[in-house]
């Protein structure tokens, strides 16, 4: 992972009071990897996903009963 600070963006579901994630889309073009983290634990672990895996996560989140 780059040593540059990542520009984290909150999930569009962050306003619903539930569990939220943040992602750093600017990292993907250079590396092919999309960092994802828990917005409530910004210093916690970061999940590094391929574009295909990230698309699956988005599909899962959209289909979940919120």
- Is the predicted pLDDT of residue 16 greater than 80, yes or no? no
Q: What is the pLDDT of residue 62?
A: 83
Q: Considering the entire predicted model, what is its pTM?
A: 0.74
Kindly tell me the sign of the dihedral angle through the C-alpha atoms of 24, 20, 52, 62. Answer: negative
Q: What is the pLDDT of residue 1?
A: 44
Summarize the confidence of residues 37-45 as an average pLDDT. 91
Distances (CA, A) of 29 to 40, 50, 53, 59, 63: 26, 11, 15, 21, 27
């Amino acid at each position: 992972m780059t040593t540059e600070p990542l520009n984290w963006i909150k999930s569009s579901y962050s306003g619903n009071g539930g569990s939220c994630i943040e992602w750093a889309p600017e990292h993907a073009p250079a590396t092919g990897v999309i960092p994802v983290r828990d917005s409530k634990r910004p210093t916690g672990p970061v999940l590094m996903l391929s574009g295909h895996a990230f698309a699956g996560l988005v599909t899962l989140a959209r289909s979940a009963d919120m």
